[in-house]
Amino acid sequence: MRLALVVVVLIVFCAIPVVSADNTTNATIVTVDSTNLRFSPSTVTITEGETIRFFWDGQLLPHNAVEVNETFDSGDTASDEDYSFLFTAGLNGTFDYFCEPHRSVGMVGQIIVNPLPPAENNTTEDPVIDEMMDDESYMPFISLPSITAVIAAAVLFRTEEELF
């Protein structure tokens, strides 16, 4: 009984990092390149409803990311940053941003946010469902570990019952 529980718990714990990692892949990551004074990539194109994640760690120089019209602001400069901003529906266009201490030396970037396609074009296809089906990591990575854990639990508990 205890062995079965330990095995099931281990399987479930192994599955958790895969599932949570999948959530962060929806964000487009902007980091700092090897020159320490440039965003990388400096220009990104996303769609409404998507997230930009400013992420860097162990930087020699502390940086931040501030949009020119203060649409977003990562706050104080930091050598380790993990700041996410969601472009909600209706928030589209071109967003220029910069690193406050290094703006003058060209540490600037641009985010182009495309509007969602008009609703009337979605009568035959749901783009969200479509995207989920296209994303190979979606179905197998979430469902496979869960199914494996359930099967393993069922087999192990059954074996235990037969033994005792």
Contacts to Cu ion by CB under 5 A: 63, 99, 102, 107
DSSP character for 68?
A: T
**Residue among 59 and 92 whose Cβ is closer to Cu ion:** 59
Q: In the structure, how many helices (H) and strands (E) does the chain have?
A: 3, 8
- Mapping DSSP to helix (H, G, I), strand (E, B) and coil, where does residue 119 land? helix
Q: Which is nearer to Cu ion, 63 or 149 (CB)?
A: 63
Q: 97 Cβ partners below 8 Å, 6+ apart?
A: 65, 66, 67, 68, 72, 108, 109, 110, 111
Q: For the CB of residue 53, give the shortest distance to Cu ion in the complex, in Å.
A: 17
SS3 55: strand
The smaller minimum CB distance to Cu ion, of residues 56 and 87, is found at 56
Smallest gap from Cβ 65 to Cu ion, in A, equals: 9
Q: Minimum distance from CB of 57 to Cu ion (Å)?
A: 14
Toward Cu ion, which CB reaches closer, 63 or 156? 63
Smallest separation (angstroms) from Cu ion to the CB of 24: 23
